[in-house]
Amino acid sequence: MLGWALTFLVIALIAAALGFGGIAGTAAGIAKILFVVFIVLFIVAMIARAVKGKPPL
């Protein structure tokens, strides 16, 4: 999921550099959403692993 977020970030940067503001804004918004979802799932996975008694990483 982090890979998808980075992909959309790169698309947004390229689109912004070429002057496509609408596409850049949309891609940046998608990248932000995917990054937040990634962080939430990562934290949930670390908590679940800690509850099982294993070290976080």
16-33 pLDDT tens trace: 999 998 999 999 999 999
Phi, psi of 46 (to 5 degrees): -70, -40
pLDDT of residue 5: 86
Phi, psi of 39 (to 5 degrees): -60, -45
Tokens representing 42 are: 């990562």
Q: What does the pLDDT average to over 47-57? A: 83
State yes or no: pLDDT of 57 exceeds 70.
no
Q: Side-chain half-sphere of 54: how many Cα atoms within 13 Å?
A: 8
Say if CB 30 and CB 8 are below 8 A apart.
Answer: yes
State yes or no: pLDDT of 14 exceeds 90.
yes
Tokens 């891609």 locate to 27
Distance CA 49, CA 31 (A): 27
Q: What does the pLDDT average to over 24-51? A: 92
